[in-house]
Amino acid sequence: MSGRGRSPVCVGVEIAGSGSSLPARRVTNGDLVAMMDTSDEWIVQRTGIRERRIYDREKEGTADLAADAARKAIADAGLLPTDIDLVVVGTMTPDSPTPSVACVVADRIGAGKVGAFDVNGACCGFVFAINTAHDLINGGAYRNVVVAGADTITRFCDFSTAGRNVAVLFGDAAAAVVLRVSSDTSRGLLAQAMHSDGGGAKNLFVPGRKQDFPSNVEYDPKRINQIYMDGQAVFKFAVGTFSKLIEQTLERSGLKADEVDHYVCHQSNYRILDSARERFGLSPERLHVNIDRYGNTVGASVPLVFDELRKSGRVQPGQKVMFLAFGAGLTWGSSLWQL
């Protein structure tokens, strides 16, 4: 029986599998130069991004990418879709307000009538979702949970010169992990943190109506349903937040920075990641960067890095991994695992 009762025993939780899904269309900085006034040099120097994937709106959506990533993660874990008893998707770009992406994924993968819901934490969606799912397993109610991060954010980007400060940053993707109950109680979350500051929303938001424009941003009907970002304000927030978040998570776990094997970070700007590396003396092997190939993929960003590390054999059982993200909301959060 799963998803119905609480087990009296304390259980461990392991990350048993991972998978990712990328749209086929690869858009280089050179391709963007043909759409807007920008340059490869500007984008690489300011962000570290060289190319990104952009989904085909006519043929695919967030749920398609998420279902593909979930199927791969389940196979990687050596499980069957019918073993899954809960699906949680971190996303801020569901294909429609309802059904949730998670409901579509659960059905598509053939998991049956299992629990399924989305978590909207913007770029923190996956981190918030994995923290939630961990505790649902740890509490004894679920055994095998798919946790995905999936976003098709480019539909909210303006690929003309007017939107160049935002459009060059983003890409579309999905990635997923399977969490599985383990008899080894040392495995699972060592510490976590989840934060928000709605007062900072004015620096990064998608207006749906005239009323959604804060007083510091002039109303422009052409900007409805497009990302507004004060890049420098978000940059400052991100650099400060990253350091404090790492410190807070280490303090909660009682670990030192060099006792964590991998810092799996949200990829939003190479310079932001570099400042965290410098601050904590982390080698490139311990803070992996793949923004050059995918840009900022919002909720998919963190599990995409994890899947890459796992597939290349760099992440191994017994290691400690800290997932870290920050984003619109504003939101920021961490999840420190004993694998």
Q: Does 226 bind ligand UT7 (CB under 6 A)?
A: no
Q: Which one, 23 or 327, has the nearer CB to ligand UT7?
A: 327
Residue type present at position 164:
R
Q: Which one, 71 or 164, has the nearer CB to ligand UT7?
A: 164
In the chain, the largest separation of any two C-alpha atoms, in whole Å, equals: 61
CA-angle at 44, arms to 39 and 46, nearest 5°: 95
Q: Which one, 158 or 261, has the nearer CB to ligand UT7?
A: 158
Q: Which one, 135 or 274, has the nearer CB to ligand UT7?
A: 274
What distance lies between CA 108 and its chain's CA centroid? 21
By CB under 6 A, the count of residues binding ligand UT7 is 17
Q: Which of 116, 119, 238, 300 binds ligand UT7 (CB under 6 A)?
A: 238
Strands 262-265, 86-90: pairing kind: unpaired
Query: CA-CA distance, 236 to 325, in Å (whole number)?
Result: 15
- Residue number of the CB atom closest to ligand UT7: 231
Phi-psi region of 212 (alpha: psi -120 to 50; beta: other; left: phi over 0): alpha
Phi/psi at 323 (nearest 5 deg)? Answer: -90, 135
Place of tokens 């793949």: 290
Strands 144-151, 86-90: pairing kind: parallel
Q: Does 38 bind ligand UT7 (CB under 6 A)?
A: yes
- The mark string for 141-180 relative to ligand UT7 (x by CB under 6 A, - otherwise) is -----------------------xx--x------------
Q: Which one, 20 or 269, has the nearer CB to ligand UT7?
A: 269
Specify the stretch interacting with ligand UT7 by CB under 6 A; choose among 76-84, 98-106, 130-138, 227-235.
227-235
Supply the residues annotated as catalytic.
123, 266, 296
Bridge partners of residue 26, in order along the sequence:
53
Instruction: Give the 3-state secondary structure of residue 113.
Output: coil
Give the nearest distance from C-beta 232 to ligand UT7 in angstroms: 5
Q: Does 47 bind ligand UT7 (CB under 6 A)?
A: yes
Interface residue list for ligand UT7 (CB under 6 A): 38, 42, 46-47, 123, 164-165, 168, 231-232, 234-235, 238, 268-269, 296, 327
